A and B are shown apart, each in its own frame.
Chain A
Amino acid sequence: MYKIVKAEKLADIIYLMDVHAPRVASHCEPGQFVIVKMDDKGERVPLTICDYDREAGTITIVFQAMGASTTRMAELKEGDSFRDFVGPLGCPSEFVHEDIEELKKKKMLFVAGGVGAAPVYPQVKWLHEHGIEADVIVGSKTKDLLILEKELESVSGNLYITTDDGSYGRSGMVTTVIEDLVKNEGKHYDVCVAIGPMIMMKFVCLLTKKLELPTIVSMNPIMVDGTGMCGACRLQVGDEVKFACVDGPEFDGHLVDFDQAMTRSRMYKTEEGRKALKLQEGDTHHGGCGVCGGDN
């Protein structure tokens, strides 16, 4: 069992937890992920690592209560435990293995969308601890859904916040901010790292391709085991098929087939929605959603 030492609601349906998992905490690097399973009947849920404390042996995870398992996970409190917590999985971000002096010569731009702020944070923090200040753009639908602002503020070079509805910071999509920075505000970047919803990563990549700005994305497809065994997470990257769990999760964003990846990620949308609805409505669920036909 893996004990939850801190549980916090960050925003509507967005939760943060610190979990005691010493093996993961002693070996993880920025860019990697974990799989958690809350109990016997829960799904194996892949989550990127938001932070880690090697001494305390804890890992910070951030998740959105969207599916059947994550909705139940949201109810866990400090002192409760996850049945299973495995990792670190996937490969660390490429810069972890690069020469620090070379890295210092590069100007990096991080672009986070929604809960994508969680996996961006440990990368920017790692760079900050190695004397490299990276610029960060965080996009959020609205002010209330913005997460980790203070944490990012303390490790970023320039932090640009934008909201879709203009309720906080700049107004508009992250792509607008990238364009403004590069075209109108005279910024130059050598590498962009974009993490967020697939649709956001797709449009960031379309733009950065035009700007000739190399871009790394972190893919979050459907997974089961997370160790290369099932192939559910396969993606078309250039002319190769890659498994996000073992070959990624980070890839060259200009080579990823986002349309296929988005189609694949919709595979269980109705199944999941049906289970989540059943959970919410309990015994009163008799097919009112019009999708599932009740319990048939």
Chain B
Amino acid sequence: MNKVISSAEEAVSTIQDGSTLIVGGFGLCGIPENLIRGLCESGVRDLTVVSNNCGVDDWGLGLLLENRQIRKMIASYIGENKRFEQQFLRGEIEVELVPQGTLAERIRAGGAGIPAFYTATGVGTEVAKDKEHQLFNGRTYILEKAITGDFALVKAWKADSLGNLVYRKTARNFNPLAAAAGKVTIAEVEELVAPGCLDPDHIHTPGVFVQQVLAGGHFQKRIERLMTARV
């Protein structure tokens, strides 16, 4: 049950053209930066990528855009990326914009074996177009479908060799949801420990959801908007 692998190259080697990837992170916070670089180097194409954002022009998922490896993006906010705008306006990339809470719940549902759910989010907007509407207790809801991925790429703070994961601060975000929704989930981590060293009460993602653990990578952890207190 040792799930540890040693290189990003090995980790992404089974990801093929046309795969659907669910990628954790919010902005540049908690993104699997080593796995993304591995995908850049593997050159795999026609990817469908499900992630809250699409990085910035020269970092995160923006690197895959630059290489034109993404065919379709499912995200809630893509406003930080000029290259995205160009590819979108030229019709080179397909985009599905999903409200952030609906995106989170669609991924959560995917991992939890729930095929669809009703939500009031998006009722009366473009998001509700062509979706089933249903009245519950006098309020209108729309049916939203679960998302699963051929692969999920996540970033955790600590892991053991069984794939139990602990995240740090707001770098958690979509990562636990993504981890459960991938047929194959690859986690890259800052620190690898032996089984038994993580407090079982503090494990965020149980190892059953994780197939591979990539340790030993270098993390840049770029900051998108550095703000400091006025002294």
Whether A associates with B in a native complex is no
